[in-house]
Amino acid sequence: MSAPMVPIDLARVAEVLDMLGEEVEALGRQLCTDPALVATFMNELQAIDRIAQHQHALASLLRADCMTSAVNSLGLEELAQRLRAHC
């Protein structure tokens, strides 16, 4: 027997995404304090930043009153296109 459906508070999901984004950003900042690591792993550090940006953008979508307007004003065109592709 399956568990009953529990309503999900999207604002709380957004909070978690923002919190994780902040943790990822802090990790990236810490890693960037080592010049040798930065020189070796620049692409990976940029990927860490990209992940945090996407987490914050998704959090803002979950808080939006109008999802279409929110997607159109994301500022991350790759993410916006992926989201529009499924509409």
- Per the structure, the complete domain to which residue 41 belongs is given by 10-84
Place of tokens 């990236």: 28
Can you say how many angstroms the Cα of residue 2 is from the centroid of all Cα atoms in its chain? 31
Q: What is the C-alpha to C-alpha distance for residues 75 and 57, in angstroms, rounded to an integer?
A: 8
Residue with more model confidence, 86 or 36: 36
Q: Judge whether 3 lies within some domain.
A: no
Q: Judge whether 24 lies within some domain.
A: yes
CB 56 within 8 A of CB 21: yes
pLDDT digits (tens, 9 = 90+) for 25-53: 999 999 999 999 999 999 999 999 999 99
Q: What does pTM read for this prediction?
A: 0.81
Number of domains the chain is built from? 1
